[in-house]
Amino acid sequence: MNDKTVLVIEDDKSIGNFLKISLKTNNYRYIIAENGLSGISLFLSNNPDLILLDLGLPDIDGLEVLKQIRINSDIPVIIISARGQEKEKIAALDSGADDYITKPFNIGELLARIRVALRRYIPKFSENDIFQLHSLKVDFQKRKVFIEENEIHLTPLEYKMLELLINNSGKVLTHKYIQEKVWGYASMDDYQSVRVFMANIRRKIEDDTSNPKYIITEVGVGYRFVEE
């Protein structure tokens, strides 16, 4: 039995209903708010474990709801957005949302995102650990990367990026976030270096870059390392 509570802030009744049923069948408790203000008040009164937040709300901007929530808490927030809201999506991720999902979405995908977001507090791979997924092996202590036991040479920056992605597996990282974490300063060139470095890493670790096994591109937003 799962005892996690999910607060759904979504104005569309039929999507709300469908989320409700899906959450119920997967043993989550749920609260539905149909607008931003009631969402904030339900969040304050119910102390949920995770929030699903629609960006297009009838009363106030979803981004505003996120900011209000972030004042008091760092509860996991997953954004639900329509396609074409790329800017809002990135803004939400950069203002502290944990993840996003684009309508129309697949419920399996959403549940996976919820699981990842809830697991966020579990400590990540420590310095001593060895990370293994399919044929990819990363030795964090020796800072070495292997594919099928063959060592792959990564440049220090490439290694830093891969480490960052693995430590946040399942979570989407925006170009801005990666730029700041790896390079330590903001970029002036549309994150060109991030993209080029990422393309290089993928060519080194993926068998087929058109059907990547490890690093998923979220076009226009950033990258996500697959969940285990």
| Site residues (vs another protein, CB under 8 A) | 83-84, 86, 104, 106, 189-190, 192, 195-196, 198-200, 202-203, 208-212, 216-217, 219-220
Cα–Cα distance for residue pair 38/70, rounded to 1 Å: 16
Please choose, from the candidates 55, 95, 47, the residue with its C-alpha nearest in 3D space to the C-alpha of residue 75: 47
CB of 189 to another protein, least distance (A): 8
Q: Smaller CB distance to another protein: residue 2 or 209? A: 209
Distance linking the first and last C-alpha atoms of the chain: 22
Residue 108 CA: distances (Å) to CA of 69, 105, 111, 141: 26, 9, 5, 35
Q: Smaller CB distance to another protein: residue 44 or 82? A: 82
CB of 202 to another protein, least distance (A): 7
CB of 75 to another protein, least distance (A): 30
DSSP 8-state assignment for residue 126: -
Is residue 90 within 8 A of residue 66, CB to CB? The reply is: no
CB of 83 to another protein, least distance (A): 6
Q: Smaller CB distance to another protein: residue 84 or 156? A: 84
Which residue has 């693995």 as its token pair?
Answer: 166
142 backbone dihedrals φ, ψ, rounded to 5°: -85, -5
Q: Smaller CB distance to another protein: residue 70 or 195? A: 195
Q: Smaller CB distance to another protein: residue 102 or 135? A: 102
CB of 34 to another protein, least distance (A): 24
Is residue 218 within 8 A of residue 172, CB to CB? The reply is: yes
Q: Smaller CB distance to another protein: residue 130 or 216? A: 216
Cα–Cα distance for residue pair 149/178, rounded to 1 Å: 28
CB of 109 to another protein, least distance (A): 9
CA 147 from chain center: how many Å?
A: 25
DSSP 8-state assignment for residue 212: -
